[in-house]
Amino acid sequence: MVDLEYEPGSLLPPFPEQRLIAYQRHLSFYWERGPVVLPAAYVEHVSLFHGGVPGKACFREPNGRVRHIGRFLNWLEKDDLTPPFVKSWRSWSLGPDIRLDYRVQDFQDNEFWCIRLGYPETNLLPIAGLDYAGHNCRGMEEFDLLCLHYQKRRKEPSVVTWPFETSWYDRRPRIVRVADSFAEFLPMLCRDPHPSISDAAIDTF
């Protein structure tokens, strides 16, 4: 097990394993492909460290570009939340609470995101928000994503970065593979020796 040294208090309550099993069935139907299986390493990690802000958040793309995870996405349902709710400031939020802005399912249900993520047969499952241009994704309306990329003839999805700005339904996204599997990706994460991401005006919960 890889410990990413999550920020204290940033982890969300655990959720029933059945939720992931049901979502795998949904993805198989949604993508019109054979059984979709979430990587065992991802299931283990998200079950222990749900939706948190990792201290070890820094990694490099193959071209040397340094990227940062702002927050892992979560598997919350509205019924998991108890009042008082904190209303989101984002124009695309499905509400009723800002924690649901980082809900995995909403990135495929919300037209603001799915019209960009849904390039035919791309089969991307968002798992984390990425900081962009020196800004923390938790303070941005739009941000890049870290995704699991399911491809034909590959049993295990690779881990890729997905750019918001250049992705549309009618334009193949310029995704960048950073690891062949989630298990391979986790040990790549480290603390940034030269922090440059602004933490001003970010969501905290």
107 is written with which tokens? 């990135």
CA torsion angle 133 138 141 147 (round to 10): 80
C-alpha span between 56 and 58 (Å, rounded): 6
pLDDT tens-place string over residues 171-182: 788 899 999 999
Question: Which tokens hold the place of 93?
Answer: 């939020």
For 128-160, the pLDDT digits (tens) are: 999 887 889 999 999 999 999 999 878 899 999
Q: Give the start-to-end residue ranges of the domains of the chain.
A: 18-188
